[in-house]
Structure 1
Amino acid sequence: MSETNNKLDRRIIRSRKALREAMLTLMSQKPLAAISITEIVELADYNRGTFYSNYDNKEALLDDIFAELIDQLLQSFRAPYQQVEMFSIQDLPASSVMIFEHFYQHASIYTVLAKSEVLPQLREKMFIALKHITQEELVYPEHEIDRELHAIYSIHALLGLVFYWVESGFQHSTSYMQEQLVKIINWRPTVAKTVMKGSDG
Structure 2
Amino acid sequence: MLPKNVSEDRRIRRTKRNLKRAFTMLMKEKTYRSITVTDIVNRADYNRTTFYRHYQDKEELVQELVDDMIAELTKAFRFPYKNNRFVKVDALSPSNVIIFDHILKNADFYSLWKNSEGIPGFQDKIINTFIELHKNDIVYFPNQQTEMDDDYFITYRAYGVWGLIVKWIKDDFKTPSHDMAIQLIKIINYHPREKYETRGMG
TM-score (norm 1): 0.85
Distance 1:115-1:150 versus aligned 2 partners, 3 A rule? same
The aligned counterpart of 1:159 is 162
C-alpha deviation, 1:76, in angstroms = 0.8
Matched-pair contact (CA < 8 Å) for 1:80–1:97: yes
The aligned counterpart of 2:152 is 149
The answer to whether structure 1 residue 128 and structure 2 residue 146 are counterparts is: no
The aligned counterpart of 1:175 is 178
Distance 1:183-1:174 versus aligned 2 partners, 3 A rule? same
4+ long deviations beyond 6 Å: none
The aligned counterpart of 1:9 is 9
Distance 1:167-1:64 versus aligned 2 partners, 3 A rule? same
Write out per-residue CA displacement over residues 27-85 of structure 1, whole angstroms, 9 at most, x where no aligned residue. Answer: 11111222221121122121111111211211221122211111111011001111235
Equivalent residue of 1:90, what SS?
A: helix
Distance 1:198-1:145 versus aligned 2 partners, 3 A rule? closer
Distance 1:8 1:125 in 2: 32
The aligned counterpart of 2:105 is 105
Distance 1:195 1:146 in 2: 23
Distance 1:55-1:85 versus aligned 2 partners, 3 A rule? closer
CA RMSD across the alignment: 2.5
Matched-pair contact (CA < 8 Å) for 1:135–1:151: yes
Structure 2 unaligned runs (5+)? Answer: none
The answer to whether structure 1 residue 73 and structure 2 residue 84 are counterparts is: no
Percent identity at matched positions? 32
C-alpha deviation, 1:7, in angstroms = 2.4
The aligned counterpart of 1:186 is 189
Equivalent residue of 1:170, what SS?
A: coil
* One-letter identity of the residue aligned with 1:162: I
Equivalent residue of 1:33, what SS?
A: coil
TM-score (norm 2): 0.85
Distance 1:57-1:198 versus aligned 2 partners, 3 A rule? closer
Write out per-residue CA displacement over residues 79-121 of structure 1, whole angstroms, 9 at most, x where no aligned residue. Answer: 1111235544223222221111111111122113443443552
* One-letter identity of the residue aligned with 2:115: K
Tell which deviates more after alignment, 103-112 or 84-93. Answer: 84-93
Matched-pair contact (CA < 8 Å) for 2:135–2:154: yes
Matched-pair contact (CA < 8 Å) for 2:37–2:48: yes
Distance 2:191 2:31 in 1: 43
Tell which deviates more after alignment, 183-192 or 106-115. Answer: 106-115
Distance 1:177 1:115 in 2: 21
